[in-house]
A = this chain, B = another copy of it.
Amino acid sequence: MGRRKIEIAAVKDPNTRQVTFSKRRTGLFKKANELSILCGAEIAIVVFSIGNRPYSFGHPGVDVVAAKFLEHEIIKSNDVKQNNVEVGDIGRLNQQLLDIEARILVEEKKGLELDQILKQHRLSQPSQFKQLQDSYLEFQRRLKDYTDAIEVSECLILLAQEPVVEITKQVKKRRKN
């Protein structure tokens, strides 16, 4: 859709490529925005240029859509398991581990952000500080629960003396305390 037809193949000239990238990225985000409005769809897009500069579009937000996607992925994989379909090879498992590590990085970032924000609020809004601190400690408690579950998992890997369902129950029990 330009003066000439172009082949869909790597653009070699860096200058032309940069212009093409900028224009088509803009076009892609515009299309995504139209799709979300026309059809009430939720969309997240992340793009990296060849120089590794990140660009993103999200309606209602990249994080929201990403989290939703991950939940669906889990449900899907659970369904697969319930049907006793073959589980993938070792590579897929390692990919899952990488996914989790990536998300742990996000948690880390959020945690550091909270540190900063809490500190500022502590200085500027002492009346609300107590409430927020409670939330924060609650969050921490939940993370510990998770870590506990991981520890139980370790035992399971090393000893394999207990069915997996038991772990789920243990976590839930711990939650209710």
Contact = CB atoms under 8 A, between A and B. Distances in A.
Nearest to A128: B90
Contacts of A95: 63
Contact of A94 (B67, B100, B105, B135): B135
Given A104-B143, A106-B67, A107-B146, A168 B17 contact: no
A162 B11 CA distance: 51
A69 B56 contact: yes
B149 A112 contact: yes
A contact residues, range: 35 or more
A109 to B, nearest CB: 4
Contacts of A9: 37-38
Interface in A114-172: 114-122, 125, 128, 131-133, 135-140, 142-147, 149-151, 153-154, 156-157, 160, 164, 167-168, 171
4 cross-chain pairs, A with B, having the tightest CB-CB distances, nearest first: A67-B102, A21-B39, A42-B48, A74-B109
Given A10-B38, A87-B121, 16 more contacts: A17-B39, A20-B38, A28-B32, A71-B106, A78-B113, A81-B112, A90-B132, A93-B114, A93-B121, A96-B110, A97-B139, A111-B146, A119-B156, A122-B157, A140-B151, A143-B147
Interface of A: 6, 8-11, 17, 20-21, 24-25, 27-28, 31-32, 34-35, 37-50, 54, 56, 62-63, 65-74, 77-78, 81, 87-88, 90, 93-122, 125, 128, 131-133, 135-140, 142-147, 149-151, 153-154, 156-157, 160, 164, 167-168, 171
